[in-house]
Every structure is written in structure tokens, then in C-alpha cells.
Amino acid sequence: MKIGYVQTHPVFGAKETNFEQVNGLLKGVKADLLVLPELFSTGYTFVSKTEVQSLSEESDGSIFQFLKEQSQKTGAVLIGGFAEKDVDKIYNSAMIVYKKKNLGIYRKIHLYYKEKEWFSPGDKTPEVFKVNGINIGVMICFDWFFPETIRTLALQEAEIIAHPSNLVLPYCQKAMETRCLVNRVYAITSNRIGREQRGEDDFTFTGGSQITSYTGEILSSSQKNNIGIAVVEIDIEKARDKHLNLYNNIFEDRRPEFYKL
Ligand code: ACM
């Protein structure tokens, strides 16, 4: 199957411009699964709750319309991040769309820095979405810092992790090699580039979107400063077999009775 990332440079608050950028990058692209960055249509560095509220949307809003269009165009399952409004709460979420259907939403459970001021933390165990016989787990950016996130997805038989991101620290790409190896899963980390100086904050996003294999091999790595897309072919069967050798099955060998702390 063909999987890919879309590395973008969002303009803060300019949803239509940001949709247009992705639309341009996806011209002529065909794939099975494509991942967009965290908060790709709004930008990241909010300065007030009112601002987050005004840029947030419900699950049938412009994000859904856009992902639906792109899924039909590319033939792929599309996963992208957005500020989700649900009654009186706002979540940092990712939507999973295939053709004309919203297959579900993941709400980020580990909020980074001032996200704690703007968003409510996710309120559910990260779940696995089954599409066309493929098990896709979703986590968002800083979730990577907690090994329990991927483990929870892998134990639910996720074969591939979709990882919309707005990375500002330099550690994730290296860490994903180990995260993927010890869970024998593929991962697509889709990051953004650019700088946002807003309010008291000044973030430079690190680019370097990455597709990592079940052995921790880097299958594709994007540049730090350019937008772009990459699609690679993978054999998903490899992520279904948890044997390291004849003697070690990495899930059967776990000793949860010793992990209680
Ligand atoms: C992050 O979680 N966006 C750093």
C-alpha cells in the first residue's frame, strides 16, 4: 500500500489559503493513506481563548468538506488536525476521512505548553480505525513523548500510526525509530515548517516529516525548510507479525504483571 505525508507552511488564521496550499500539493497524487499536520488549516500559536474559539469548528465544518474532497481526489484515507468545537469544549483533534465519510475523530490526550490554556485534553483512550482491512492508530504531536500512546494503539492491533504534528523540539524524529521498532508498526509523522511570532511566543517548526518502518528504518525524510509531499510503498503484513525471531514475540513476551507502577 502507498502511504504519505504532506508537509505544509500554514498562514496563521487563513483557512482558505491553507486549504489551497494542500490542494496544490496533492494535485495528481494517488495513495492509500495521507497524513496532514496538526492544526493544518489554522496555524498553532493562538493568543487567546476567543481566537481559538473563532477558528474552531464542529465535525461537519470546513475541515470535513476539505478532507472529503481530497480523499475523493487522491483515493486515500485523509487524516488532518483541527481545532474541534464540541458544545462548550474545544479539543486539539484529528479527523479521519475516507471518500465521503467521516470515520472518526481523535482528541489529543497529551497537551503541550499553552495548549493547556486553549484546549480540553482528549477524553478517550486512543482508538484504532479500521479501513479497507488496515488498522490505523492516530496520535497527535506531543503524544509521541509518552511511549504509552503508541503502545496502547499497537496493543489494539494498529499496524500504522498516523501522527499529525507541529513539532518545535528536535527529538521526535529520532525517537520514532525506537517507538516503531519496539511496537513493530509503521508511522507517518507529518510536520509543518515556518515560524510563528504571536503574543509572547515565538515558535519555529522543525519540518523533517518522516515515514518510519516497523524496524525503525527511515523510509522517507523531508527537509526542514520546504513544503512538499512524499509517498512510499510499504508491506503492511510486516507490521502484523510481532516475531523478532523464532523465540521472541514482542507482545507475547511482555510481562505486564511486573509493569504495574
Ligand atoms: C506539539 O505538541 N505541537 C508540540
List, for residues 97-133, the tens digit of each pLDDT value.
999 999 999 999 999 999 999 999 999 999 999 999 9
Q: What is the mean pLDDT of residues 85-90?
A: 97
| Whole-prediction pTM | 0.98
User: Could you give the 3-state DSSP secondary structure of residue 84?
Assistant: strand
| Band of pLDDT at residue 253, cut at 50, 70 and 90 | very high
Average pLDDT, the chain: 98
Q: Is residue 260 packed enough to be buried (19+ CB in 10 Å), middle (13-18) or exposed (0-12)?
A: exposed
Ligand 1 atom nearest residue 38's Cα: 3
Distance CA 245, CA 164 (A): 32
CA of 83 to the centre of ligand 1 (A): 13
Domain containing 53 equals: 2-258
> What confidence score (pLDDT) does residue 15 get?
98
Q: Which tens digit of pLDDT belongs to each residue from 24-61? A: 999 999 999 999 999 999 999 999 999 999 999 999 99
Residue 141 among the catalytic residues: yes
Is the Cβ atom of 191 under 6 angstroms away from ligand 1?
no
Average pLDDT score over residue span 127-143: 97
Q: How far is the CA of 112 from the centre of ligand 1 (A)?
A: 5
For residue 168, give the ligand 1 atom closest to its CA: 4
What does the CA dihedral 116, 13, 28, 137 come to, rounded to 10 degrees? 10
Residue 234 CA to residue 2 CA, distance in Å, equals 6
Average pLDDT on 230-238 reads 98
Average pLDDT over residues 72-84: 98
Percentage, residues of the chain above pLDDT 70: 100
CA of 41 to the centre of ligand 1 (A): 15
* Domains of the chain: total: 1
What was the pLDDT predicted at 16? 98
Q: Which pLDDT score, from 0 to 100, does residue 238 have?
A: 98
Instruction: Return the CATH number at 13.
Output: 3.60.110.10
Average pLDDT over residues 67-73: 98
pLDDT value of position 54:
98
108 is catalytic: yes
Q: Which atom of ligand 1 is nearest to the CA of 113?
A: 4
Strand partners, 187: 161, 212
**pLDDT of amino acid 231:** 98
Give the model's pLDDT for residue 210: 98
Per DSSP, the three-state class of 3 is strand
- For residue 66, what pLDDT is reported? 98
The predicted structure's pLDDT at residue 103: 98
Here the cell at position 129 is 480505525
**Residue of 15, 51, 68, 141 marked catalytic:** 141
Q: Return the residue whose CA atom lies nearest to atom 2 of ligand 1.
A: 142
Question: Catalytic: 172?
Answer: no
H-assigned helices in the chain: 15-25, 49-55, 62-74, 115-118, 147-155, 172-183
